[in-house]
A and B are shown apart, each in its own frame.
Chain A
């Protein structure tokens, strides 16, 4: 059974989406950037919202798959991310050789003549790769979690040697454990040279402890600021962490424990005596922190805030925290509670800039090499790995409202195809073949971007206002496409 897009729209709900899609199974294996092989239909508000939380903005094929198998199965498919073939995305990443290098190699290729460092190439490849993964990867929920943990274990790429260390942290800490156990994530982060450098632990020595990492490990990474630790605990944990350091010569950039810098005295953290045992001291505290009820609650509420609402439902957070403790911080188990029990209770969230950019690119099937998009993200306030303080980019709606102009600029430049290396093909996407049915195209755009067509009054008003400003039909369609991306409705997910 084949339906033209227009027939499909006219038939509307008479044809169920799954019936229309049953003959198009292989579409999920299409090459990135090629045209969607399936038509799309309006989604119910709940389904559209769910997909917007589970992805960086649903592509046509993802909508189809979701309608076909339902929320629960869709989430399970995404959680089993290893079984999702991601060949198209890998092709996109092939040019970025630095992604697979260790710190020593990265330092080597950055280090030019006379120690004149190239501080641009490595971070730019990481930023570009991050955007391309969010855009092209079929492992969308995994990428959403990678973004979440990148904020949680935030590292500012402009500080010191982070320009090459962050690439290793991104691969070995964040991406490696994004769907694993929270304990392993904290463990890896604590042993990550990038984190040591970012939070000054390489300067934490027995004769003069530096509290920076010790504090944030408890305040931001595990217990939360009200998680029940004291200034004394910070100072004692800092002593446990003395000697956790980064190699400076052979195998530069690797983690090292420097026994001679370690404070061998007796410590006490969270009322727990820590006997002298070198590197094991802080490792013992990390185990305690990861299994602490405050940590379970703090992480669950942050996850619920990301997926559900700025003020997430109390009962979901409690339930997720319990599962967190029961499963020793199994991230997938906690996610199942938050998503399966929680999505029905979700409240509107204001799109953060990356989400705004990615959703417009994905929904309109835009192709890009990502290079020129970083400046847009910078102006919107969310250039990747560019948040200076360790709390990560804010997740509450109020932090992002009130800076509309750069979003509007992006919307219009995108639709005018003025962004270098970035190209849409609206005409092909909308299959503009018949003159005089601008209305259908506007419906189609609204369905892609907002889930369902606008009501007649709104869309007529929009078309009329742009036409009155002197636009031809083709111009009108483009202005409206940009106008929808710029619209208040599209700023929310």
Chain B
């Protein structure tokens, strides 16, 4: 059998040098790729303009007796309501551990997925900024004395753009996939060859360490806490594995998770259909993660974001085109939750911008900077978001 020696980085976790910053929360960043139609997620049911702009796609008011009860918005504060697909997040909302920041986003108005994602993941205004990602720079500027290869993990086949930088990060699709096969004797030979060819190679050595660590974890036999039930989806698995890594104390500081499919130009569905199914995956996943991690909520912050929002008016294909203002959600034990933060710019003519899009009243970096400074003990927001002066909204304690 392969000897279960401690990976080289392990001791440094227990004996961190005194000049390092104390570890803050573990951060989970969920990116909704494709520009989520946030106006149908957190519905401004108090706005008549919303219903004029969306005669087919609009989600009925919570008190609209003309619509089936399960198709109506779920009221949050008398003005906004959850799409029924997000209903499973209601408990978290009511426990005040979930905050919403509406009309939030980036200054970029290219309405290009790729440009907007690139700039947002880099945390910059335009091409001239640093090429690394904002999470990469967060890791580089905060010395936590943690050299675990699992310090930052991108769930999926490759690390997210936001993770790129001088600190090595890992891509992880599935804990169960992470083995070389063969019998123990062959494994020992393979390991010997890999150790040799990867001598002095950081990525290779990291991968060998991860292999050792993950050998002890199995998502199939994992028992979640508080009867949490993760959805049977890639997204659910990514959250479950994040929970496993946190509980296994392998040094995880950041987990980046993608949920794609939000580019709904065509037949996105109103109360039911394509996009509502995505919302259900999102909400069920986050709710399960919250329940599973309830005992850790004081050291855990989860944030969702998307590259931009979609046009306020529906298009003729029962979908929506690229727009501007988006929405973020922040979940955690130290969130000023049960509240929609940010200034609502309105959906009436003269309030929309460009070709008819929700305006941005909160820069996404205001939200992220607050998480970095208040929850992750990283005061260097000027390096993480260069040339940007963040204004806190007091979303976090």
Q: What per-residue 1/0 map shows which CB atoms of A466-493 lie under 8 Å from chain B?
A: 1011110001100110111011110000
Q: Which of B24-32, B167-175, B216-224, B240-248 contacts A (4 or more CB under 8 A)?
A: B167-175
Q: How far is the CB of A237 from chain B (nearest CB, A)?
A: 14
- Residue B315 CB within 8 A of the other chain: yes
Of B170, B191, B201, B207, the most chain A CB neighbours within 10 A belong to: B207
- In Å, the complex CA distance between A482 and B180 comes to 12
B79 / chain A contacts, CB cutoff of 8 Å: none
A207 / chain B contacts, CB cutoff of 8 Å: 316
Q: How far is the CB of A240 from chain B (nearest CB, A)?
A: 16
- Residue B182 CB within 8 A of the other chain: yes
A398 / chain B contacts, CB cutoff of 8 Å: 164
Is the pair B317, A488 in contact by a Cβ cutoff of 8 Å? no
- Residue A211 CB within 8 A of the other chain: yes
Q: Indicate the size class of the contact surface on chain B.
A: 35 or more
Is the pair A219, B114 in contact by a Cβ cutoff of 8 Å? yes
Is the pair A404, B203 in contact by a Cβ cutoff of 8 Å? yes
- In Å, the complex CA distance between A36 and B180 comes to 31
Is the pair A483, B197 in contact by a Cβ cutoff of 8 Å? yes
Is the pair B204, A479 in contact by a Cβ cutoff of 8 Å? no
- Residue A402 CB within 8 A of the other chain: yes
Is the pair B194, A484 in contact by a Cβ cutoff of 8 Å? no
Q: What per-residue 1/0 map shows which CB atoms of B310-327 lie under 8 Å from chain A?
A: 000001110101100000
B16 / chain A contacts, CB cutoff of 8 Å: none
Is the pair A412, B182 in contact by a Cβ cutoff of 8 Å? yes
- Residue A109 CB within 8 A of the other chain: no
- In Å, the complex CA distance between A475 and B113 comes to 50
Using CB atoms, name the residue of chain A closest to B199: A461
Is the pair A480, B193 in contact by a Cβ cutoff of 8 Å? yes
- Residue A400 CB within 8 A of the other chain: yes
Is the pair A409, B109 in contact by a Cβ cutoff of 8 Å? no
- In Å, the complex CA distance between A391 and B322 comes to 16
A465 / chain B contacts, CB cutoff of 8 Å: 192-193, 195-196
B interface, CB within 8 angstroms of A: 33-34, 109-115, 127, 154, 157-159, 164, 168-171, 173, 177-182, 185-186, 188-198, 201, 203-204, 207, 210-211, 260-261, 263, 265-266, 315-317, 319, 321-322, 354-355
In the A-B complex, the 9 residue pairs with the smallest Cβ-Cβ separation, listed nearest first, are A208-B316, A483-B193, A381-B157, A203-B317, A469-B192, A487-B197, A469-B189, A403-B171, A465-B196
**Can you list 14 A-B pairs with a CB-CB distance of less than 8 A?**
A210-B265, A210-B317, A219-B114, A220-B114, A225-B114, A381-B158, A389-B114, A403-B159, A404-B207, A412-B180, A413-B181, A416-B186, A483-B190, A489-B197
Given contacts A398-B164, A466-B193, 15 further A-B contacts (CB under 8 A): A200-B266, A200-B317, A203-B266, A208-B315, A215-B111, A225-B112, A225-B114, A379-B177, A381-B157, A389-B33, A402-B154, A466-B192, A466-B196, A479-B192, A488-B198
